Structure 1
Amino acid sequence: MTPIVLRDPEVTKKLLEAILDTPGGRRSLSRLARTCRAMCEPALSILWRELDSLIPVLGLFPPSLLKKTRKPGLGLTRNPVEEDWSNILKYGERVRRIAYNEEINNVASSIFPIFEQYRPRTFIFPNLRQLAWKVESPAGLERCSLFLNPELESLSLEIGTPFSELSHFLADMSSRIKLKEFSFVSPTPLPDAFTELLLLQKGLCKVVLVAPGALSPGVGRWLASLEELKVLQLDLSGRGVVAVEGFFDELSPRSGYSTPSSVMTTDSGVFSGEELDFSDHRKSALRLTGDLRSKGSFVTVRQLQLTGEASNIAVFLRHLHSALMQLDLVIEDPPDIADWQDLSALISERFGTTLQSLRISGSRSSRYSELVRSTARAEPPKRLPLGHFTSLPNLRRLDIDLPESILFTKYDIRHLSTICPMVEELKLCPLARFPIATPPNIMLGDLAPLMANCSRLHTLSAVVNAKKGTDEVLSSRETSSASLLRLHVGHSWVGDTLHVTILLSHLAPHLETLKWFHEKNRPGYVEANARGWERVADALPHLQNVRLSERLFATRAIDEVESQVPQLEFSEKGIDAAVATTEREIQVRPAVTETAVQFSPILINRMVDAEPLNSAIQVLPTTVDQSVEAVVSTLESAVDATVPTFSKSVEALVEESALIDKTPSIHSSSIRSSLANIHLSDIVSMAWKLVVFFPLTVPSRIIRMALEKARLRREARKKEETVASLSTDIPLNTIQVRS
């Protein structure tokens, strides 16, 4: 019958993941897969889910194909055939994440051409989701293309040296796959067209940029355009405050920057070709006064990791208006006290109600002091005050790990217990090492406020100076935690182990794990302290049992006492609780006051006489009477109409009406004929002129000119008719012919 743990795949997966996280967990899972048939498949899936190298994959080739069986990365003796790929294809389907580091040089470069030419299918790892690639050369970057399958969701690139092939690789990658997570870490600047190459990656949820140029306004505009962005990691180290503010310059329009009266403008109002730029100083002045305009953005970001000085981180956080849930800060240690105070207050003010995890660690450059902590050149540890945090009501995890600022006091512990009542995991520099002359300031009994106020605290890591507990702590039941299960004391000092065990059994009676540094090769190891905590760990379970047994006996005794208390006898008794009521009438007459107000409006009569102005205009046209004498000129001419005869005689008789030897005179027929010779166009033209120019005075000269022109036309026409009549023969119908 199948065990209960194997009936639910999710429960089995959680169990195997818990085994994997333990020391030697991978070896334990390997043995479990080889021992139990029912656990074989789930254990293999967990083992092959994440690979830190390609070596396990190469080891799946037949031993006869490898140059050295124990070192598969050295290469192959011959090209593999299809049967040699069976195990790789079988286990390749389980791989979800794989990493490659060219700098280690544990995989021969000759293997990648074999993978490219002889692979039986396009992608060896068809279910690959995450790919981490660290290279130093263009050839190493080109090998990454073999694993860019369509199912890939996360790509992490770490480039050591700059080369031009990077732009081509980013363009090819962006056109082939759609990522959800992208990480780029390099000491060299970003490519010039970095944002243009990644424009197609609009579904990014996580972006990590640790490279020069990551704070440019163009990168800020691109990151702000990602609607699904949830996780963001940036490096602010080595940059000025102005550069950090410039990251947000192109997120919103700069209203008011262009006027000379604006504080943010570089224009002084004077036309000068060599104008000095005082914008940095103006921004610093505005920052001090609190008048610097904020360009809030990245409202979808929930997890943020920033690296740099505390002042730069504070400037960056002022521009954010998102509901951050996890904040990881890698600062330069020790931070300036004023900058640390501003940063602590800003975190509490902006993200106090939403923040659930806060981690503060030191940068790589500040870790150098930790290496010389145990030498004579070591400086005394610095104090990191936690009193500037005001309120973090939803904080679940607080992790502070700094190399120098390791001093905490009981006031810090008491303040944390007040502002973080929901904290579940608290770490206060558990790796700190204190010189012999400077013991830790926190006593073991100073942790009592955390036990009393933080009811969900299950993991606590801090370096303490364990001494005998006070009677006030031991006699208080509130200082005993029912939730604390794990305690890590690191390099804590310990004195009387018996008193420490008694105090610890009271503070954490349900404690399951007690850890301390007991490795002799660890820097800061003190043998006396390690042996003292070992004795505490050995005796603590027994005292815990005694403590819990005593409390159990006390609880039972209280229950027995309560059970032996005599029961009180009760008797029922009726009481008449009738309420006496009284009727009373009250007559209310309101006092009425009449008030009359006489209002007489003042009336004004006003008349306006509006008479229009009448003006008359007399227009009398000028008329001219003129008579025209029309005399018809007549011409007398004799025509010889004698026809020459040869054998016959011809007599031409002309009628009397045709004779024209009359005296010329003027009569009505001549006038009618002269009027008939006047053209209609002349009449129309003259009438139009009279109509148009009637309101005006028509000069007589115009009329005379018109009449003269008509007369000349008639005379010319008459001359033409006369000439035509002279050249015309006598009509034959008027000639009488006699035989």
Structure 2
Amino acid sequence: MHICLLPTETLLDIFANIRGQRGSSRGRATIAALARTCRKFKEPALDTLWEHTIGFEPFISCLPDDVVKRTTKWVSLKRHLFSGEWKIFAQYAHRVRSLIIYDVDLDMISDRVVQALVSMPSLLPKLRELQWWDERESFFPLLRALLVPTVRSMKFGSGLYSYEPWTSSFAKSTLLASLGARCPSAQELVCAYADDSHAICEFVCDWKELSHLRTGILNTQSLRHLALLPSLKSLHFRIHGFDDTQSSTTVTMLRFLSCRSVVLSLGDDIEIEYPQDPLDDSELPLGSLDIPDLMVSFSECFSPTLEYISIDFSLSYGSLNEPYLALGFHAVAPLLLFSRLTTLKLAWFCTSTIDDATLKKMAQSWPQIKEFRFGSITTNSPSLTFMGLVHLIQHCRHLRDISMCFRACSIDTSCEPFSKTIPNKKITSISLGHSPITDPIAVACQLHELLPHLTTVGTYRKSEDFNCDWKRVNKYLAALAEDAKTREKLG
């Protein structure tokens, strides 16, 4: 054996590369074979093999055949485990650092397996990351056994679809309220939980090292605690549901100075009162919810160094994309203060109120932007034109992802600012939603000149009336990109 292979850290790096990020079956089989190759490989190979585990099946597979009972649907135990068999389990359990449990994993184990796992003195003593995608309360004793003080990251949800919220219940509230005591050093939590801000407050206020939080409603006490955490970098929460003692005025006074990423969600219980007659674009009847004031409060709460903003409105009645509910530039203007933004997602905004000059001002304010998602894909009459896209490409040199709507038409490419804009070679696809188009050939040529590696333009599927024109654009773009590659090879 070469001397360079002797350090354990070197072997761990090699085995981690073999395993890969997702741990393919071939990679895991290779590492298992390496563990049997020599004594020097055994321990680091086993550590790598068990570091990231999915389900409880791998543990049960290590037990003797006379203990395990298998059927086509589930796995059970023929008898209780003896001390020697517990030691077999334990020698692998202490290597696990990350565990993912899906609902299908729990469907595969019998009550006997659950009872045996719960009775183990220390199930996974060195667990650091836990994902639990199931909300059946019958399995909560097993979940509690996994909540050890070493856990730093927790993600809870319902079913295979990550981030689906748990429905509210006494058992869930009790479990969540105990998280602060069970996992005092938690740094990350993902748990969208319905209807109980008090339970969330109970454990959020116990954490002093929290850096990433994605949850449901937060009350004022929780927000005050989070605002004082210097470790907080990412925050995703819902801001409605405040009672009389938890007014939005209190929230406005908070300062999240350390946060770099924030997602605001306003849930389905926000109601919009529709007017009988269409109103001017400057008027927005949102009852107690004043969107422009909310945006001002948002800009005052967070540091100008904020890098990621996503604001989502899920409304019960209607949409902000309705012409008489459209928000003007004054609603988004407070966000211009965040000059270090790399990601901006304002999918709820109606682009019928934003023109090319306004978008230019926005682009100049966010020179570091990489991902720009602005406006609904269903907007029927965007005020932006192709020139708005030119402004965006000209002033945001780091762009990788664009989703917006504009009126795509032929322009004079020899005039400014098009002629002075440096083409963006990083973008290969964009999403233009419901973007009206005229002269597909000219638009394709303009897009290719502006984005030379662009091959795909995504549009709103239900808009069959103009989708055929965008399909032609995609064909032209593919041909132009291929021609450009050929020319580059020929010099």
Common fold: TM-score over 0.5: yes
Q: Is the 8 A contact 2:186 2:207 kept in 1?
A: yes
Q: Which residue of 2 aligns with 1:405?
A: 350
Letter in 1 for 2:377: A
Change beyond 3 A, Cα 1:32–1:421: same
Aligned equivalents of 1:399, 1:200: Cα separation in 2:
31
Which runs of 5 or more residues in structure 1 are unaligned? 21-25, 249-293, 313-332, 371-377, 553-739
Aligned equivalents of 1:235, 1:353: Cα separation in 2:
21
Provide, for residues 679-727 of structure 1, a one-character-per-residue CA deviation record: whole Å limited to 9, x for no partner. Answer: xxxxxxxxxxxxxxxxxxxxxxxxxxxxxxxxxxxxxxxxxxxxxxxxx
Alignment pair present for 1:147 and 2:146: yes
Alignment pair present for 1:238 and 2:244: no
How many residue pairs align between the two structures? 445
Displacement, 1:396? 1.9
1:188-207 → structure 2 map (5 Å cutoff): 188-189=195-196, 195=202, 201-207=207-213
Provide, for residues 218-261 of structure 1, a one-character-per-residue CA deviation record: whole Å limited to 9, x for no partner. Answer: x456556656444444432233676324756xxxxxxxxxxxxx
1:36-75 → structure 2 map (5 Å cutoff): 54=56, 65-69=68-72, 71=73, 74-75=74-75
Q: Which residue of 2 aligns with 1:507?
A: 450
Q: Is the 8 A contact 1:487 1:514 kept in 2?
A: yes
Letter in 2 for 1:505: H
Aligned equivalents of 1:357, 1:241: Cα separation in 2:
31
Q: Which residue of 1 aligns with 2:113?
A: 111
Displacement, 1:144? 1.4
Q: Is the 8 A contact 2:390 2:418 kept in 1?
A: no
Q: Which residue of 2 aligns with 1:448?
A: 390
Aligned equivalents of 1:30, 1:362: Cα separation in 2:
41
Alignment pair present for 1:135 and 2:128: no
Identity over the aligned pairs, expressed in percent?
A: 17
Q: Is the 8 A contact 1:486 1:512 kept in 2?
A: yes
Aligned equivalents of 2:140, 2:214: Cα separation in 1:
19
Provide, for residues 60-119 of structure 1, a one-character-per-residue CA deviation record: whole Å limited to 9, x for no partner. Answer: 7788935335x4xx33152475669969964883551424559995654443112234x5
Displacement, 1:444? 3.6
Aligned equivalents of 1:474, 1:548: Cα separation in 2:
27
Letter in 1 for 2:150: E
Q: SS at 1:418's partner residue? A: helix
Q: Is the 8 A contact 2:430 2:458 kept in 1?
A: yes
Letter in 2 for 1:186: Y
Q: Is the 8 A contact 1:426 1:459 kept in 2?
A: yes
Q: Which residue of 1 aligns with 2:476?
A: 536
Aligned equivalents of 2:60, 2:473: Cα separation in 1:
46
Letter in 2 for 1:178: S
Letter in 2 for 1:75: V
Q: SS at 1:149's partner residue? A: coil
Letter in 1 for 2:448: S
2:216 to 191, 210, 229: 210
Provide, for residues 367-393 of structure 1, a one-character-per-residue CA deviation record: whole Å limited to 9, x for no partner. Answer: x869xxxxxxx9669644446524443
Aligned equivalents of 1:299, 1:352: Cα separation in 2:
5
1:540-689 → structure 2 map (5 Å cutoff): 540-545=480-485
Aligned equivalents of 2:489, 2:168: Cα separation in 1:
65
Aligned equivalents of 1:15, 1:474: Cα separation in 2:
52
Aligned equivalents of 1:46, 1:469: Cα separation in 2:
57
With structure 1 as the length reference, what TM-score do the two structures score?
Answer: 0.48
Aligned equivalents of 1:463, 1:14: Cα separation in 2:
44
Alignment pair present for 1:355 and 2:306: yes
Q: Is the 8 A contact 2:190 2:214 kept in 1?
A: yes
Aligned equivalents of 2:208, 2:104: Cα separation in 1:
30
Letter in 1 for 2:308: S
Q: SS at 1:528's partner residue? A: helix
Q: Which residue of 2 aligns with 1:428?
A: 374
Q: SS at 1:398's partner residue? A: strand
Aligned equivalents of 1:379, 1:396: Cα separation in 2:
29
Aligned equivalents of 1:338, 1:170: Cα separation in 2:
30
Letter in 2 for 1:210: G
Change beyond 3 A, Cα 1:32–1:97: closer
Q: SS at 2:479's partner residue? A: helix
Alignment pair present for 1:186 and 2:173: no
Change beyond 3 A, Cα 1:85–1:493: farther
Aligned equivalents of 2:15, 2:391: Cα separation in 1:
37
Displacement, 1:539? 1.0
Q: SS at 1:426's partner residue? A: strand
Change beyond 3 A, Cα 1:425–1:441: same
Change beyond 3 A, Cα 1:537–1:76: farther
Structure with more contact order per residue of length (Cα contacts < 8 Å, sep ≥ 6): 2
Change beyond 3 A, Cα 1:222–1:495: closer
Instruction: Calculate the aligned-residue CA RMSD, in Å.
Output: 5.3
Letter in 2 for 1:446: G
Letter in 2 for 1:501: A
Change beyond 3 A, Cα 1:206–1:91: same
Which runs of 5 or more residues in structure 2 are unaligned? 3-9, 36-40, 158-165, 271-283
Structure number with bigger Rg: 1
Aligned equivalents of 2:136, 2:80: Cα separation in 1:
28
With structure 2 as the length reference, what TM-score do the two structures score?
Answer: 0.68
Letter in 2 for 1:215: N
Displacement, 1:399? 1.8
Change beyond 3 A, Cα 1:39–1:482: farther
Aligned equivalents of 1:15, 1:8: Cα separation in 2:
10
Q: Is the 8 A contact 2:383 2:406 kept in 1?
A: yes
Change beyond 3 A, Cα 1:45–1:400: farther
Q: Is the 8 A contact 2:345 2:373 kept in 1?
A: yes
Displacement, 1:506? 1.0
Letter in 1 for 2:145: L
Aligned equivalents of 2:302, 2:249: Cα separation in 1:
23
Q: Is the 8 A contact 2:264 2:310 kept in 1?
A: no
Letter in 2 for 1:98: I
Q: SS at 1:433's partner residue? A: coil
Displacement, 1:301? 4.2
Provide, for residues 417-452 of structure 1, a one-character-per-residue CA deviation record: whole Å limited to 9, x for no partner. Answer: 2222232222224x7135xxx355444443111222
Displacement, 1:192? 8.0
Provide, for residues 484-526 of structure 1, a one-character-per-residue CA deviation record: whole Å limited to 9, x for no partner. Answer: 42332254555544323321221022x26635269xxx65567
Q: Is the 8 A contact 1:464 1:493 kept in 2?
A: yes
Change beyond 3 A, Cα 1:355–1:56: same
Q: SS at 1:399's partner residue? A: strand
Aligned equivalents of 1:432, 1:350: Cα separation in 2:
29
Q: Is the 8 A contact 1:132 1:156 kept in 2?
A: yes
Displacement, 1:152? 0.9
Letter in 1 for 2:447: L
